[in-house]
Structure 1
Amino acid sequence: MNVSPKKKPVSPKKRVVGFNVMEDRCIWMKAGVVNYHICDNAFDCNACPFNRAIRQAMKIDPSVDHQTAASKWVTYLVERYDGANRPCRHALTGRIAAPKTCPYNYNCSNCAFDQMLDEMDLGADLGEPTCNVVAGFKIADDYYYHMGHSWVRFEHGGRARIGLDDFAACVFGHLSQVDLPPLGAKVQQDRVGWTFGRDDHRAGVLSPVTGTVLAVNHPAREHPQLVNEDPYHTGWLFIVEPDLPKRNLKRLFFGQECTQWIDQEHRKLLGLMGPPYEDMAATGGSVVRDIYGAIDTLRWDDLASQFLHTTKK
């Protein structure tokens, strides 16, 4: 009797889920070029392999007149949308409400309007997230989490907004200093990207993604209490342009994974706090926002090592 070996379970493929994105159909699907394709890169078309493949198939090149390009895809696109009616991809994805045509054949890197929208987003308030509560700590919907308790939310175009999660904000409490990377600096996933301090204590935080810093949140840097009071909204820290967003996903928690992870971190915290605090184990209760300051037995170095996974300082 032959027994077939058991197949290993296949992990679901992760995709970059954009924050507050109501429409997830690929622009090529919206334009009628392909029948079905769901965007898995937060509309970061410049770094999207599918976009590159379609453009190659359509022989789209800014230096080549699309009318003379020998491709059935180009013919189809021209028949559906002539140069005067081809809609801007930001209208197709719902990023802008007003109708607008694309004069660059979807070569967005040459478009000043595309660059203007990205610059406007750097300073825009894109909204407060809805949150679930696990073991008394908030988890923001559609946010990704790193094991070092930093969070990242991918916004339109694949840019990543980064901050400290609610668990770490509560554990380390009222910070007196936040040191952020300068504009243009490179941060790398799993390496210290920024630091924070309290009195004479310092701790480094691992960056959740690899990329280049585009903007920093000056109010949070000048008023570190924002990080403790509102870590997922006004207390965000900086924005990066990720090198390749999808490559970072394997090291990030998302969705149900976050619930399981925070529950494990909570149990680890209770172990550091000791037996008198075991009654805090019930999920759903509220916690103080300064655990380090409230529990005399907790050591800063132990908390940084256990939860931030950085060198003790």
Structure 2
Amino acid sequence: EIALLAPVTGVIHQLNEKLTRYPSLVNHDPYGEGWMMILQPECLQEDLQQLLYGEQALAWYAQEIARLHREIHIALCAMGTSPEALAGRTLQDGGVPVSSSSGCGLTASAMRESLIERLGPTWWTEMIVQFLHPQAGRFKSAPERKTRHRR
């Protein structure tokens, strides 16, 4: 597990324990059964001013995806592996699309495992630190929850 910095400060009052059994709910029903936590914000107005919205958020996301693709390309080339050869036949050159419904689907976890296998766990850890900015760049096996009580 990775301890990530939250975009807002506050006190967590409740965690959705259902996500430990069904983590896919976060993606499939984020505003229903997939909620993560109930948080009482401390400095919400200031925290919200630091976040990106709309077109700004989309542009940042596109830049980060492009940066990740460049990092993967650089790492594969440094190993002497052609990213194009590694991809195999794709739709543009007569191959088939990769999707979860096509029977030859590649899930996010399978892709992550493939990258870790090809590029090594050290590279993967560096990418986690570079892109997700985990707290102090440290991995924690089980995040310690500090409960704050207000009087």
Q: What is residue 303 of structure 1 aligned with on the other side?
A: 127
Structure 2 residue aligned with 1:254, among 46, 50, 53?
Answer: 53
How far is 1:224 from its partner? 3.2
The CA deviation string for residues 209-248 of structure 1, in whole angstroms up to 9 with x for no partner, is: 0111122111113333444x53734433212111132110
CA RMSD in angstroms, aligned pairs only: 3.0
Q: What is residue 34 of structure 2 aligned with on the other side?
A: 235
The CA deviation string for residues 284-310 of structure 1, in whole angstroms up to 9 with x for no partner, is: x97842231232326331222112112
SS at 1:293's partner residue? Answer: helix
Structure 1 residue aligned with 2:19, among 220, 224, 241?
Answer: 220
**Residue pair 1:301, 1:312 contacting (<8 A) in 2 also:** no
How far is 1:273 from its partner? 1.3
Q: For the pair shown, which has the larger CA radius of gyration, 1 or 2?
A: 1
Q: What is residue 50 of structure 1 aligned with on the other side?
A: none
SS at 1:236's partner residue? Answer: coil
Whole-Å separation in 1 of the counterparts to 2:127 and 2:54: 25
SS at 2:4's partner residue? Answer: strand
Whole-Å separation in 1 of the counterparts to 2:23 and 2:127: 19
**Residue pair 1:221, 1:237 contacting (<8 A) in 2 also:** no
Whole-Å separation in 2 of the counterparts to 1:254 and 1:210: 18
**Residue pair 2:14, 2:37 contacting (<8 A) in 1 also:** yes
Structure 1 residue runs without a partner (length 5+): 1-196, 198-202, 280-284
Residues 309 and 303 of structure 1, relative CA distance in 2, 3 Å threshold: same
Whole-Å separation in 1 of the counterparts to 2:17 and 2:59: 33
Q: What is residue 289 of structure 1 aligned with on the other side?
A: 108
Q: What is residue 78 of structure 2 aligned with on the other side?
A: none
The CA deviation string for residues 124-161 of structure 1, in whole angstroms up to 9 with x for no partner, is: xxxxxxxxxxxxxxxxxxxxxxxxxxxxxxxxxxxxxx
Q: Percent identity?
A: 26
Residues 241 and 235 of structure 1, relative CA distance in 2, 3 Å threshold: same
Whole-Å separation in 2 of the counterparts to 1:238 and 1:307: 23
Amino acid at match of 2:108: R
The CA deviation string for residues 77-98 of structure 1, in whole angstroms up to 9 with x for no partner, is: xxxxxxxxxxxxxxxxxxxxxx
Residues 214 and 312 of structure 1, relative CA distance in 2, 3 Å threshold: closer
The structure in which a higher percent of residues are helix is 2
SS at 2:108's partner residue? Answer: coil
Whole-Å separation in 2 of the counterparts to 1:269 and 1:214: 35
Q: How many residues align?
A: 106
The higher relative CO (CA closer than 8 Å, separation ≥ 6) is in 2
Q: TM-score, normalised by structure 2?
A: 0.57
Whole-Å separation in 1 of the counterparts to 2:21 and 2:56: 33
SS at 2:20's partner residue? Answer: helix
Residues 213 and 312 of structure 1, relative CA distance in 2, 3 Å threshold: closer
